[in-house]
Amino acid sequence: MINVAVIGFGKLGLLHAGTVSGLAGSRLAVAVDSNKTLLNALKAKMEGTRIYTRHEPLLKDGGIDAAFIATPTGTHVDIALDCVEQGIPIFIEKPLALSGEQARPLVEALEKRPVANMVGYMGRYLDTFAKAKEIVDSGVLGPLEMLRCSMYIGQLFKAGKGWRYDKGVSGGGVLITQNSHVIDKLVWMFGDVDWVSGQTNSLYSTEVEDHAHVFFAFRNGLRGFMDASWSERHYRTPTIAIHVQGRNGTLDVDDDSVRLFLDAKSDAYAEGWSEWRKPDLYRSVPFDIGGPQYTLQAEEFLTAVRGGPNPASDVRSAYAVQCVIDAAYMSAERNGAPIRIAEVMA
């Protein structure tokens, strides 16, 4: 039985707690949250779960096999470092940190003392994106040439409140919060980014950007742009769409479907249009709370905790995402001047 601590018992913390408890072979052993009201309410409902207001005394007391860190972004790294020091496997919600610079000590600590680690870019487990990745990896599109993608959600139409709009705690606006999912997907599907040019705009917020537009040049030659806003009307839920064109065809993927066009048939795919819709690709999971992607993600992490392979969505890859985001912010400050990722990482 894997005894899990969930640190930060907000929306995502609850989801992870419910998921690990619902899966066979793992259980919620400890809940940590700095909000006492929330904790007391939990205490009344969840006998048998140890409760703490800080993670340090928990780490001293021990008795846990893995930690899920789902606190506000700016606090992830310090908590994770304390866990790594105790040799406790860590799952960290995305984005990993406020910046690449803040994340770097964690990357280094894990190099010295490797423990199972994962960052919560659960979008990789959405069936449509997993299929798109499979198609890209197969090489049928030929050399990749042009990219356009977007992430829209209509959540902010007046100045926002809470930690998400406080740059010191969130790291920035839409680019680093919801849109870090897109950048993770791009790096996952298309590999390392060479340089970016970015523009950002604040519509309703004062400290952070509500709209971001970034041009990417990947090392593999692919080039194109991404547009992201959390103040886009008509979008009830976060909606990601990626379009990529290669020498031999095109690929369109969003949450609902994957559409492939090929000039000629290949071993695995037909000539012309092919389409896969969400129900085509659906895979049942042992237990689902907020979508199968969260379950698949938790299963892969728990497998690593049991000694299996470390998930691909690890701290190292999330650090690379962070550096792309840093470069985009840096470029936006210089009115779109190109910034090399290697420069940010150095």
Rank residues 82 and 245 by Cβ distance to ligand NAD and give the closer one. 82
Using CB distances below 5 to 8 A depending on partner kind, what does residue 236 bind out of ligand NAD, other proteins, none? other proteins
Q: Looking at 9, 68, 91, 215, which residue binds ligand NAD (CB under 6 A)? A: 9
Question: Cα–Cα distance between 109 and 79 in angstroms, integer?
Answer: 13
Name the β-bridge partners of 119.
92
Q: Do you know the residue count of the chain?
A: 346
**How far apart are alpha carbons 343 and 346 in whole angstroms?**
5
Beta bridge pairs of residue 92: 69, 119
DSSP-based three-state secondary structure for 221? coil
| DSSP at 174 | T
What the block records as the tokens of 314 is 């690890």
- Cα-to-chain-centroid distance, residue 171: 14
User: Can you tell me whether residue 198 is helix, strand or coil?
Assistant: strand
Smallest distance, Å, CB 121 to ligand NAD? 7
Helix ranges (DSSP H) in 46-93: 55-61, 76-85
Pick between residue 143 and residue 286 the one whose CB is nearest to other proteins. 286
Binding residue for ligand NAD (CB under 6 A) from 3, 21, 34, 199? 34
When binding is defined by CB under 6 A, the residue of 67, 77, 91, 93 that contacts ligand NAD is: 93
DSSP 8-state class, residue 163: G
Judged by CB under 8 A, does residue 15 bind other proteins?
Answer: yes
Choose among ligand NAD, other proteins, none what residue 111 binds, the Cβ cut-off being 5 to 8 Å by kind.
none
Q: Is 147:136 a contact under the CB 8 Å cutoff?
A: no
Q: Which does 60 bind (CB under 5 to 8 A by kind): other proteins, ligand NAD, none?
A: none
**Residue 254 touching ligand NAD (CB under 6 A):** no
Cis geometry, peptide bond prior to residue 279 (ω within 30 degrees of 0)? no
Which of the residues 262 through 301 are near other proteins (CB under 8 A)?
277-280, 282, 284-290, 292
| 42 to 81: interface string for other proteins, x by CB under 8 A | -xxxx-----------------------------------
Burial class of 26 by CB neighbour count within 10 A (0 to 12, 13 to 18, 19+): buried
User: Least distance (Å) from ligand NAD to the CB of residue 281?
Assistant: 20
| Minimum separation from the CB atom of position 74 to ligand NAD (A) | 9
Stretch of residues binding other proteins (CB under 8 A), selected from 100-108, 131-139, 193-201, 255-263: 255-263
Q: Which residues bind ligand NAD (CB under 6 A)?
A: 7-13, 32-35, 38, 55, 70-73, 75, 93-94, 120, 122, 177
